[in-house]
């Protein structure tokens, strides 16, 4: 049986790695055991509702991305960026805005 690369476990693992958390660090932040997190990521075990809620909050994951196989990765990335932008202060928002304007202006030339 081949593993689905869009499985919830793989998505959670990708999110954890994108935040540069070790399995141990992530498990501690979630209040679960390292073994339980490994079972979720590698064996496809479904997390409890509370753990799933904590994972979604910790990584600002759009729940649709976890539950729907055809959910577009671009949609996930956009949603993730928006979630992170909501956490920014005014200075950080200005930096992000200027960076986006420069990137988009460069791509339109």
Class of domain 8-107: mainly alpha
Per-residue model confidence as pLDDT tens digits over 89-106 = 999 999 999 999 999 987
Domain residue spans of the chain: 8-107
Question: Could you give the CA distance from residue 15 to residue 49 in angstroms, rounded to a whole number?
Answer: 18
Dihedral Cα 60, 39, 5, 71, nearest 10 deg: -40
pTM equals: 0.63
Per-residue model confidence as pLDDT tens digits over 26-68 = 999 999 999 999 999 998 888 999 999 999 999 988 788 788 7
């Amino acid at each position: 049986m081949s593993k689905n690369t869009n499985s919830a476990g793989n998505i959670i693992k990708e999110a954890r790695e994108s935040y540069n958390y070790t399995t141990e660090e992530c498990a501690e932040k979630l209040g679960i055991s390292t073994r339980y997190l490994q079972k979720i990521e590698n064996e496809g075990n479904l997390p409890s509702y509370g753990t799933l809620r904590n994972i979604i909050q910790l990584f600002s994951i759009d729940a649709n991305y976890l539950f729907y196989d055809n959910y577009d990765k671009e949609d996930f990335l956009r949603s993730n960026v928006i979630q992170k932008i909501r956490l920014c202060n005014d200075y950080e928002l200005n930096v992000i805005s200027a960076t986006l304007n420069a990137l988009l202006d460069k791509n339109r030339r």
